[in-house]
Structure 1
Amino acid sequence: MATKTAATITDTNFNFPNQKSVYKGKVREVYNINDELLVMIASDRLSAFDVVMPKGIPFKGQILNQIATQMMAATVDIVPNWLIATPDPNVAIGHLCEPFKVEMVIRGYMSGHAAREYKAGKRMLCGVAMPEGMKENDKFPTPIITPATKAEMGDHDEDISREDIISKNIVSQADYEVLEQYTKALFERGTELAAQRGLILVDTKYEFGKTKDGKIVLIDEIHTPDSSRYFYADGYQERQEKGEAQKQLSKEFVRQWLISNNFQGLEGQTVPEMSDEYIESVSERYIELYENITGQSFEKANTTDIMTRIETNVVEWMKNN
């Protein structure tokens, strides 16, 4: 399937050497190789309000994969991660891990979901108190961790408190304390990296897994525009004082477009039609996000025959490793 400019990956069906199974998430497809390695393919699917949109976004998978792998390299000194290699622009290969069934969401500012809950009159989010008298996009006195249970494809992630995670034995207390510690350290590093690019890391989510030898590692994406919200630092304070919307780098622009077209993933709602022009504009925004977040020019991979390219690169890597 394609737009005017480039083909997209909306589904894969590879059969790699020693492949045992495949898991298809909202955006990524994960191939288990001999119960030792995972081959993670970042598709061009677009998910918003926990619903996968009907059309892919050109280069989105490449952008997410390349930001995530660069950010893992930039944080490996503080938190171990699953990554071994990136043999293709859309592919990451790493150690097989058993994922924890929670997403560690951390918020430095009251934005997005937190702001919507706050406006609805709630002052507790995932068992964490939010101070009175805050405005949307104000900075929290200290970042708050507001975990979510990980949903299967198409289901909504749900807020959950630290106490419930531990009491329901979703994660043991000892492991959860490590997840919290890692989450805070990653957010601190992410904040520093963003500041170097003139950005504010507003909120983000991290996912963790356990390797076969019991080591807790960071998995999946990190500090991407799909998993994180960024503001431009320049003019932030002025906009807050004037009560203006913040200039931001995230896929919030997609959510806002969907809301304006009467879609929030609620029962009975229909995903609005996305024209080729709109798809193209989303692709351009993702490229802008990549260049702002990484400080590098984006180089479009060859999309003439994406599937063959991916398969060739992965199989070649396997032969040599």
Structure 2
Amino acid sequence: MLFVLIRKLFWIIVTLLILSIMSYYILLKDPLNLLIYDDSLLSYWHYLQSLLQGDFGVSYTSGEPLFNQILRVFPATLSLCISTTLLSLLFGIPLGFLASYNTRNVIGKFLTMLGSLSLALPVFWLAIVLLYYASINQWEVAAVGEIHPIYEIPTITHFKLLDMFLVDVDIEYKLKITQSLAHHLALPTLILAIPATLEVMRMTNEQANFVMKQNYVQVAQIRGWSGFKIWRRHIVCNTLPPIIPQFARNITLIFAFAMLVENVVSWGGIGRWLINAVAVQDYNAVSVGVIVIGVFVLIVDILASFITTLLDPSNKKEWYVR
């Protein structure tokens, strides 16, 4: 157990070091930073100490501390990822089981074929098409941005929906803000949920098909168990835990797709912020963005591994392997 823990910590540290090195060399692309840093190991060590202290420097375009900018834009992207993940799990898991249950008829084959298109959908093109279609049909969800400009929410946690409930204002005003937030969140969530749902459906379908071929399922059929009992006792319980790490991979895909979609729907997240930083050659912002995104992906992977170990007994043996 101790050996496995040390091994995991070692690879986490190695990953963080690689991210910091990439970030440092991006920083050196700016001639102004060469006045402070150079290619020496001592200079890199000073930069690493600054990162560990939460000192990300300042943006050369606005002069604002980059730490404050990250706190402002990252929750917007995270809100989009959370809503998309919940929607994809809500529809993707039942559709995956439906495809597996009907694997020999037209419905199952159609859903299986649809699931194979999950990563083939160009999400940037899909965002433009859905935005155009919603606009010409005058859908209320065709709104761009995070909230209508006439509304103002005091910043507390930087999550607008949460901040709206924390502020002490009239209930009718809160309802209007909630409606505006929902209108602006609906379209980007729908855009991202289409490939994410198809990917969850594909993963669930493949794992359920694998479980249905196991001996204990065939023994249950021979014993005369009903289909509902077999699915409840064996297939569902043995399908979901092994695909939790794949759900984590799906979250990182949603995060990557969200950074592309943000520029289309004018969503004030880290993706749009990074694109603007690249456009004006703000290497300080790009350098910090690499660190933040890498750490986020690493945290998601660690949490997925931990939850899988708790839920799937077959993975607990890894903690005792010498």
Q: TM-score range by the shorter chain?
A: under 0.3
In our comparison, the structure showing a higher alpha carbon Rg is 2
Structure ranking higher on relative contact order (CA contacts 8 Å, 6+ apart): 2
Q: TM-score, normalised by structure 1?
A: 0.27
Larger relative helix fraction: 2
Larger relative strand fraction: 1
Q: TM-score, normalised by structure 2?
A: 0.26
